[in-house]
């Protein structure tokens, strides 16, 4: 540490004094209601979690208009957290075919823009087209289409969906549409086993898509493909292919030739297909500003009536529920510290369906500063997230930009993770394990999926820290330090959650 360092510290300190009052408070409020009821994630107490490593996708397979990557669902962190992570990259005019799965899911739109449609059973088709159609299509009295709501999605959005509800995505932009899916296999809504299962309504999914967890466990932990009775040449098909063609014809009241198209038997396009023409959907044409205003309004309405709506479980329905929320909009941040970063949480207060789905999410932006002094002296000052532990949830973190250093500590004080993580990697912070994160030199942004709809952290340092709650005398005896030192532990860091560089940090 040379003298420029000292200078940085001193100058930085001046800035700190002014900025540390400029932040919002984050006072997570605990709720008096039964915590999420969750499956024990492990059989036979196998989740010792003595070593966690950052993961990149372990399988990738191509479709006509994009590709899909799967993070190894048998890695201990995912098995124990009961979550599987997938990433779809959908090219221009690509359509991710309609499917449903045995798990509720949260989809994070990492990049691009497009449309999302979900088919809720029993809900009306509320979007009705009055556009004139090609003349040849007017016969049979169906001159217009009708369907359930189609949502516009864009970078930074999350989309939440219950188990067993079919949905599809379409890329309407000029860049790839990248979707990171968190499948909550350990959710109580999943009454099947810990495999994620995707049931496609069209297309012929690649065999590689199938979850390998069940097969992995049956093989005693060796990672092999599931051998289904039909042998290796057997394909993984859409659900119609298992029904008799004659049954389908009768059920749909169509001829068997069309019924056979439902089975898509010779389709080799995979699960992401290219639309023949650009798709346009029925719906009001809003500008982005209008959409956002509308969304805010809906959200407030929903919030206003929440007491009645989401607690009694009887009167209200999914049919008009919002499924989408944006995590990137700086003006929507829950916590902002100009010298450290910002943070956005989405839980059932923002998106009420999450109360039903019993998970939530957070996006954190940790800044990195290059402060120049006198035009030539540059100080690298990286922000950090307070050391903390998740009180009631696992946290599955996906790095969306930059890099950061992360340490995770288990109950016996062991460092189970100490790694520089970078964009596209995933790591899990198990419930109660202590964690600290610090931005790398390009800053650090990550999205984290939490297995509780009101996930809470306990902070070890800062203005709302656990030490603030404990009397000085207890701390001084616990650590064998003086009262004055105990006071420094309690009061030296006035920021909340996101910390600007300290005079004592590495610069």
Residues 333-362 interacting with its own copies (rule: CB under 8 A): 349, 352-353, 355-356, 358
Residue pair 128/282 in contact (Cβ under 8 Å)? The answer is: yes
Residue 48 interacting with its own copies (CB under 8 A): yes
Number of alpha carbons in the 13 Å side-chain half-sphere of residue 44: 3
Among 347, 400, 425, 502, binds its own copies (CB under 8 A): 502
- Residue 29 found at the interface with its own copies (CB under 8 A): yes
Reduced to 3 states (helix: H, G, I; strand: E, B; else coil), residue 231 is coil
Give exposure, 199-213, as e/b (b: 16+ Cβ within 10 Å): ebbbbbbbbebbbbb
Rounded (10°) angle between helices 472-479 and 483-491: 110
Contact call for residue 261 and its own copies (CB under 8 A):
yes
Nearer to its own copies, 286 or 491 (CB): 491
174, 287, 370, 480: which one binds its own copies (CB under 8 A): 480
Residues 399-458 that bind its own copies (CB under 8 A): 407-416, 418, 430-432, 434, 436, 438, 451, 456-458
Q: Kindly state whether residue 394 participates in binding its own copies, applying the rule CB under 8 A.
A: yes
- Considering the rule CB under 8 A, would residue 314 count as an interface residue with its own copies? yes
- Provide the β-strand partners of residue 365: 342, 445
Between 193 and 232, how does the x/- string for binding to its own copies read (CB under 8 A)? xxx-xxxxxxx-x-x--x--xx--xx-------x-xxx--
Helices (H), 105-222: 213-218
Instruction: Select from 27, 31, 30 the least CA-distant residue to 462.
Output: 27
Which one, 7 or 201, has the nearer CB to its own copies? 201
The distance of closest approach from Cβ of residue 482 to its own copies in the complex, given in angstroms and rounded to an integer, is 9
CB of 344 to its own copies, least distance (A): 17
Q: What are the phi and psi torsion angles at 306 (to 5°)?
A: -65, -45
Q: In what order do the strands lie in the sheet with 66-71?
A: 57-63, 66-71, 84-90, 177-183, 105-111, 157-161, 324-326
Residue 505 contacts its own copies per CB under 8 A: yes
Q: How far is Cα 476 from Cα 478, in angstroms, rounded to an integer?
A: 6
Token pair 């056979």 in the structure block, residue: 260
368 vs 394, beta carbon nearer its own copies: 394
Tell me if residue 503 falls in helix, strand or coil.
coil
x-or-dash string of contact with its own copies, 227-246, rule CB under 8 A = -xxx----xxxxxxxxxx-x
Rounded least distance, CB 58 to its own copies, Å: 18
Interface of this chain with its own copies, residues 65 to 94, rule: CB under 8 A: 80-81
Among 107, 179, 335, 464, binds its own copies (CB under 8 A): 464
Instruction: Give the DSSP letter of residue 465.
Output: B
**What is the DSSP code (8-state) at residue 55?**
B
By CB under 8 A, which span of 54-62, 261-269, 292-300, 420-428 interacts with its own copies? 261-269
Distance CA 145, CA 66 (A): 28
Choices 115-123, 173-181, 327-335, 372-380; region in contact with its own copies by CB under 8 A: 115-123
């Amino acid at each position: 540490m040379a003298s420029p360092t000292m200078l940085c510290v001193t100058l930085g300190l001046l800035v700190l004094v002014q900025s540390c009052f400029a932040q919002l408070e984050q006072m997570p409020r605990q709720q008096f209601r039964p915590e999420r009821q969750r499956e024990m994630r492990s059989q036979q107490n196998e989740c010792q979690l003595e070593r966690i490593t950052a993961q990149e996708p372990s399988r990738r397979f191509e479709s006509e208009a994009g590709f899909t990557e799967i993070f190894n669902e048998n890695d201990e962190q995912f098995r124990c957290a009961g979550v599987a992570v997938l990433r779809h990259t959908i090219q221009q005019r690509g359509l991710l075919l309609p499917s449903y799965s045995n798990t509720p899911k949260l989809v994070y739109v990492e990049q691009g823009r497009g449309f999302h449609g979900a088919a809720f059973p029993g809900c009306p088709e509320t979007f009705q087209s009055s556009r004139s159609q090609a003349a040849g299509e007017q016969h049979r009295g169906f001159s217009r289409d009708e369907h359930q709501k189609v949502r516009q999605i864009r970078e930074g959005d999350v989309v939440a969906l219950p188990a067993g509800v079919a949905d599809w995505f379409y890329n309407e932009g000029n860049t790839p549409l990248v979707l990171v899916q968190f499948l909550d296999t350990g959710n109580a809504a999943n009454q099947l086993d810990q495999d994620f299962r995707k049931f496609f309504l069209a297309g012929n999914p690649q065999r590689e898509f199938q979850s390998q967890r069940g097969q992995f466990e049956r093989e005693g932990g060796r990672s092999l493909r599931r051998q289904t009775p039909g042998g290796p040449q057997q394909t993984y098909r859409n659900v119609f292919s298992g029904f008799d063609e004659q049954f389908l014809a009768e059920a749909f009241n169509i001829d068997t030739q069309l019924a056979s198209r439902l089975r898509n038997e010779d389709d080799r396009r995979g699960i992401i297909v290219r639309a023949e023409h650009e798709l346009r959907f029925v719906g009001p044409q809003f500008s982005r500003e209008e959409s956002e205003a509308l969304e805010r309004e809906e959200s407030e309405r929903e919030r206003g009536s929440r007491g009645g709506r989401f607690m009694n479980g009887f009167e209200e329905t999914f049919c008009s529920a919002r499924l989408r929320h944006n995590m990137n909009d700086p003006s929507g941040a829950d916590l902002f510290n100009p010298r450290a970063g910002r943070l956005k949480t989405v839980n059932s207060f923002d998106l009420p369906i999450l109360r039903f789905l019993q998970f939530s999410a957070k996006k954190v932006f940790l800044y990195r500063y290059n402060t120049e002094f006198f035009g030539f002296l540059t100080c690298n000052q990286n922000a950090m997230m307070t050391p903390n532990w998740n009180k009631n949830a696992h946290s599955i973190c996906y790095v969306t930009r930059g890099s950061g250093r992360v340490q995770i500590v288990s109950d016996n004080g062991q460092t189970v993770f100490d790694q520089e993580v970078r964009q596209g990697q995933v790591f899990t912070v198990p419930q109660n394990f202590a964690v600290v994160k610090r931005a790398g030199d390009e800053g650090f942004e990550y999205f984290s999926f939490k297995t509780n709809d009101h996930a809470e952290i306990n902070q070890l340092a800062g203005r709302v820290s656990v030490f603030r709650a404990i009397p000085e005398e207890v701390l001084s005896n616990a650590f064998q330090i003086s009262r004055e030192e105990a006071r420094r532990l309690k009061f030296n860091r006035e920021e909340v959650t996101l910390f600007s560089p300290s005079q004592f940090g590495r610069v």
